[in-house]
């Protein structure tokens, strides 16, 4: 009990700790250097709240102390935790349904020519996007050969993605026939959750990747999804990220971004064919 009360007291004391402008700038520069993410001044409350528990955990009295910790020689593990906390993005099953309608027709067309589709979900977060894709491919192609790889910088969300375990409040996002075919309802201690069927989980490959770095040798893909990610980058970083992904897309393949994003002025290697859907020339 003493430990619990001490921890709670420490959290209470941190309620009065503010993130100074200089400290916020240091974190902004750090996350930009590591992940290419540009954080506006409006993100200061987010940084404050997400890192507060780490200050409490280490019993630190300022955000400056925490910054010194994560940038020290021995701070690599804690630095990854900080990066994970500051790069978590929202995602949903079957987000932007028109993209999935398009992919359904594209996959059917590709399969007719006996060409197994390969799809890369870049910045996959907690896995809702690649599992949505896997449900679609399995419905269309069944046991035929197809491949989905999914990547993210955030190690914590990748762990959740590999587990394939979600709260039941995500259920309305998934079409009813997919729920019955690919999802298991939790019982007992797992009540209130749904689990992606093992057969589907085993067909999605997850790996950690920083978008501002050169990707590993992955071969060529028919589709690359980089949706609702470019909005976090400045123009220079957008160009860098897209230029590093496009060599992994087949000629004639499709590059999908979020509906609030564009590749105009970012790459002349693609052409717009539908809102937020580009084809490699």
Q: 57: domain CATH number? A: 1.10.155.10
Q: Name the catalytic one among 138, 152, 201, 227.
A: 152
Query: 91 in a domain, yes or no?
Result: no
Q: Check which CATH number belongs to the domain holding 119 and give it.
A: 3.40.50.150
Catalytic status, residue 21: no
**In terms of pTM, does the model score above 0.85?**
yes
Give the confidence band of 28 by pLDDT, cuts at 50, 70, 90.
Answer: very high
**Residues 158, 235 within the same domain:** yes
Task: Say how far apart CA 1 and CA 16 lie, in whole Å.
Answer: 24
Does residue 163 sit in helix, strand or coil? helix
Res 7 pLDDT > 50: no
| Active-site position among 50, 162, 244, 250 | 50
pLDDT for 9: 42
- pLDDT-based confidence at residue 113 (cuts at 50, 70, 90): low
Residues 152 and 259 in one domain: yes
Percent of the chain with pLDDT over 90: 78
pLDDT of residue 112: 59
Residue 124 and residue 75 in one domain? no
Domain span at 140 = 97-280
pLDDT of residue 109: 67
With cut-offs at 50, 70 and 90, classify the pLDDT of residue 115: confident
95 classed as catalytic: no
Judge if 69 and 158 occupy the same domain: no
Q: Are 51 and 186 found together in one domain?
A: no
Dihedral angle sign, alpha carbons of residues 211, 215, 218, 223: positive
Average pLDDT over residues 50-57: 92
In a domain, 199, yes or no: yes
Domain boundary (33, 51, 86) is at 86
* Helices assigned H by DSSP within the chain: 2-14, 21-35, 44-58, 63-70, 76-86, 97-112, 128-141, 155-163, 176-182, 198-201, 235-245
**Chain centroid offset of residue 102 CA:** 22
Q: Do 79 and 138 share a domain, yes or no?
A: no
129 in the same domain as 252: yes
Q: Are residues 57 and 122 in the same domain?
A: no
Instruction: Examine residue 92 and state whether it is found in any structural domain, yes or no.
Output: no
Q: Which of 86, 110, 137 is the last residue of a domain?
A: 86
What mean pLDDT value characterizes the chain?
A: 90
26 and 109 in a single domain? The answer is no
Domain boundary (62, 86, 110) is at: 86
Total domains in the chain come to: 2
């Amino acid at each position: 009990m003493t430990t619990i009360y001490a921890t709670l007291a420490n959290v209470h004391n941190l309620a009065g700790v503010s993130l100074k402008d200089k400290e916020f700038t240091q974190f902004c520069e750090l996350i930009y250097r590591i992940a290419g993410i540009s954080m506006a001044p409006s993100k200061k409350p987010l940084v404050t709240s997400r890192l507060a528990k780490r200050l409490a955990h280490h019993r630190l009295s300022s955000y400056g102390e925490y910054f010194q910790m994560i940038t020290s020689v021995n701070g690599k593990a804690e630095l990854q935790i900080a990066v994970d906390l500051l790069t978590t993005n929202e995602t949903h099953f079957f987000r932007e349904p028109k993209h999935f309608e398009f992919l359904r027709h594209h996959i059917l067309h590709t399969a007719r020519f006996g060409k197994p589709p390969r799809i890369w979900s870049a910045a996959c977060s907690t896995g809702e996007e690649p599992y949505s894709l896997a449900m679609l491919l399995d419905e269309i192609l069944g046991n035929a050969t197809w491949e989905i790889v999914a990547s993210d910088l955030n190690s914590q969300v990748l762990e959740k993605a590999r587990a394939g375990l979600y709260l039941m409040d995500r259920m309305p996002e998934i079409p009813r026939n997919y729920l019955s075919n690919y999802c298991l309802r939790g019982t007992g201690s797992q009540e209130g959750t749904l689990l992606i069927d093992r057969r589907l989980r085993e067909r999605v490959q997850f790996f950690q990747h920083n978008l501002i770095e050169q990707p590993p040798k992955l071969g060529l893909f028919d589709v690359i999804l980089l949706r609702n990610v470019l909005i976090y980058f400045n123009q220079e970083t957008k160009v860098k990220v897209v230029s590093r992904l496009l060599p992994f897309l087949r000629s004639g393949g499709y590059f999908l971004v979020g509906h609030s994003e564009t590749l105009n002025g970012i790459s002349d290697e693609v052409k717009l064919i539908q809102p937020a859907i580009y084809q490699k020339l």
